[in-house]
Amino acid sequence: MCGIIGILGKADVAPMLLTTLKRLEYRGYDSAGVVVINDGSMQTRRAVGKLEALEMALKAAPLQGNSGIGHTRWATHGAPTEANAHPHRAGKVAVVHNGIIENFQPLREELLAKGHQFASETDSEVVAHLVMRAMDQGQSPAQAVASTLARLEGAFALAFLFDGEDDLMIGARRGSPLAIGHGEGEMYLGSDAMALAPVTSRITYLEEGDWVVLTRNSQQIYDALGNGVSRPEVMVNVDAMQVDKGNHRHFMTKEIFEQPSVMALALSHYLSPDHSQIHVPGGAPDFTRFDRLVLVACGTAYYACHVAKYWFEQMARIPVEIDVASEFRYRAPPIGRRDMVIVVSQSGETADTLAALHYVKGKAGQVVAIINATESSIAREADLALPIKAGVEVSVASSKAFTCQLTVFAALAILAARQRGELDAAGEKAQIAKLVHTPRLLDEALKAEPQMAAAARELAKARDILFLGRGPLYPLALEGALKLKELSYIHAEGYASGELKHGPIALIDERVPVICFAPVDALFDKTVSNMQEVMARGGKVLLVSDAKGIARAGKGTWAQLEMPECDPFIAPIIYAIPAQLLAYHTATEKGTDVDQPRNLAKSVTVE
Ligand code: F6R
């Protein structure tokens, strides 16, 4: 992962390196650093921890100079220490790196045998040494970078500066994104357009295998074969990229409470003005062309796919396969022209999901991306990119992106059902009418926050917590467990209610809270039976249901959380609220870092 930035500027760059790095902190936040060229020579500041630590280091010992590179890290090779923080230097070369150099070990051994000494345990440092070695042998910086790139295996975005070269910066990408930003007599490099938003909206995206030699007034881009190429400059809408917490204590609650309004926005994007039809701006996919849908994503986005599988199969009667992207690509499943592949990603930069997209391109009949970051690699590389309209999601744990992904999937499932003759015009309208109620019902669900906070005070004492759900609420149980784990660091698992008796029930005793998502639907009585099995073994059940469900099955449970009554179709969207808020309040009760939980990053750009 990691975020990288580079600036050839007209004034001191250290403050702007910090500002732009702040916008990349979602990529990693365990250490950070900058190199700035002052009077021709490079100076470094690095610090362990979030960017505030680097800010303090720069306050204590400011750096002056108009050229610099910076990095915020999510550790892969080597612990988050100052020595392992980027930039890494070797002789006249400084480098920042996002990705993994897979053959770093043999390269490092080769360099050690030749007398090189390493200051860190990282894979990245070998890159600086290889470039330095090539320069020592007489190559120019550009030649040295080119010969080094040829030796690297794995994924990377790199930015280089060189001692004594105040007007030169070199960037390269393979497998990890990198963009050039154009200013007036200034030039920038950044992991994404959002980082560059404070300085420019004029962006050139490097393509796979590209590398670029930049000065303040020129750029020369080369492709992987070393041919000079030109890539288009595009204008990026940077206004939409400004973010703050509003009146909320955390981005996480702000984003949870934004869900009714962003969902309404997503709905208005995909519905005709009279709410009679699904309308996909820019051209609807044609589901009659396909025999199968293959849905691929990671983490929370994968659970959105899991819910969508129920919707597409039940409503549109089309077979759906789902997989997590990291498994999908290596299992190399057969994909043909009658398959539509839908990849889902909030960030649009998740390396596993991007690799899955690369795997299916050219094989599948159509590759659709359901995406939040519309300027991302996945959005640009898919045949069709459908925005979820959630707005910038800052908190590392996904919340509003999940419900907006579900919204887009719900619209597509209705569309598919209509196109495939499973719904007539009246049926389409009736399903849309259910969806249109969702923002109001989300609002109602949010009103149960005080009860969720009270339940969380108990949950925070637990060591293990189980989540149960049936049908499309099963993925919600998985999502609830994921949210709780990542925010509160309490071990949690989600199970299909009916599966519990096949093993996991052995975990049940009075110390293990069991959270049961059970709206009154066709499977309600079955879920209640599974809940009874838990209570019969001393298990402590938190029943999350509507008023009718609580009246029917609340007796004997440890606590109840009342959700608004809703049609079973939209229940997975509504029950996202308790999945998120129970985790949020358990985490605040425990005092963990809600917006930036330990060991995580918002955009996972390594495999
Ligand atoms: C969990 C979470 C992650 C992401 C996953 C995919 O709260 O946020 O599981 O959902 O890393 O990220 P995107 O959607 O950016 O591809």
**DSSP output for 13-37:** -HHHHHHHHHTTGGG--SEEEEEEE
Task: State residue 412's pLDDT score.
Answer: 98
2 tagged catalytic:
yes
Which atom, in ligand 1's list, is nearest to the CA of 350? 16
Overall average pLDDT of the 28-56 stretch:
93
Banded model confidence at residue 129, pLDDT cuts 50, 70, 90: very high
Nearest CA owner, ligand 1 atom 6: 298
User: What phi, psi does 175 have (nearest 5°)?
Assistant: 85, -20
* Candidate list 2, 404, 516, 566, residue with the active-site label: 2
602 tagged catalytic:
yes
Cis omega (within 30 of 0) for bond into 319: no
CA of 226 to the centre of ligand 1 (A): 35
More confident residue, 578 or 599: 578
Overall average pLDDT of the 426-434 stretch:
97
Does residue 447 sit in helix, strand or coil? coil
Which atom, in ligand 1's list, is nearest to the CA of 397? 7
To 5 degrees, how large is the angle CA 91–CA 93–CA 97? Answer: 130
Task: State residue 25's pLDDT score.
Answer: 82
Overall average pLDDT of the 524-538 stretch:
91
Using alpha carbons, select from 149, 139, 197, 150 the residue that is nearest to residue 171: 149
Q: Alpha helix locations (H) across 293-362?
A: 299-311, 325-331, 351-360
- In terms of DSSP bridges, do strands 339-345 and 366-371 run parallel, antiparallel, or are they unpaired? parallel
Contact 179, 192 (CB under 8 A): yes
Nearest CA owner, ligand 1 atom 10: 300
- Asked if pLDDT for residue 241 goes beyond 80, the answer is no
Nearest CA owner, ligand 1 atom 7: 397
Overall average pLDDT of the 224-247 stretch:
80
> CA-CA distances (angstroms) from residue 301 to 50, 253, 515?
26, 19, 22
CA of 601 to the centre of ligand 1 (A): 9
Ligand 1 close to Cβ of residue 606 (< 6 A): no
Q: What is the percentage of the chain residues whose pLDDT exceeds 70?
A: 99
74, 343, 398, 489: residue to mutate for ligand 1 pocket, most atoms within 8 A of CB? 398
Task: State residue 226's pLDDT score.
Answer: 92
With a CB cutoff of 8 Å and minimum separation 6, the contacts of 172 are 145, 149, 156, 157, 158, 178, 206, 210, 211, 212
Contact 70, 20 (CB under 8 A): yes
Banded model confidence at residue 598, pLDDT cuts 50, 70, 90: confident
- Asked if pLDDT for residue 13 goes beyond 80, the answer is yes
To 5 degrees, how large is the angle CA 135–CA 140–CA 144? Answer: 60
CB atoms near residue 334 (< 10 Å): 6
Task: State residue 358's pLDDT score.
Answer: 95
With a CB cutoff of 8 Å and minimum separation 6, the contacts of 450 are none
Ligand 1 close to Cβ of residue 527 (< 6 A): no
Given phi > 0 = left and psi -120 to 50 = alpha, else beta, which region is 566? beta
Helices (H) and strands (E) in the chain, counts: 21, 25
CA of 483 to the centre of ligand 1 (A): 11
Ligand 1 close to Cβ of residue 395 (< 6 A): no
Q: What is the percentage of the chain residues whose pLDDT exceeds 90?
A: 83
Contact 1, 605 (CB under 8 A): yes
More confident residue, 136 or 601: 136
- Quickly list DSSP for 109-134: HHHHHTT---SSS-STHHHHHHHHHH
Ligand 1 close to Cβ of residue 353 (< 6 A): yes
Q: What is the mean pLDDT of the chain?
A: 94
- pLDDT tens-digit series, residues 289-333: 999 999 999 999 999 999 999 999 999 999 999 999 999 989 989
CA of 3 to the centre of ligand 1 (A): 17
Q: What is the pTM of this model?
A: 0.81
Ligand 1 close to Cβ of residue 350 (< 6 A): yes
* Candidate list 92, 254, 400, 602, residue with the active-site label: 602
Banded model confidence at residue 243, pLDDT cuts 50, 70, 90: low
Ligand 1 close to Cβ of residue 171 (< 6 A): no
Task: State residue 236's pLDDT score.
Answer: 84
Residue 473: both structure tokens together: 């609420």
Q: Which residue has the tokens 């592949």?
A: 341
Ligand 1 close to Cβ of residue 578 (< 6 A): no
Residue 21: both structure tokens together: 């790095």
Which atom, in ligand 1's list, is nearest to the CA of 373? 15
Ligand 1 close to Cβ of residue 347 (< 6 A): yes
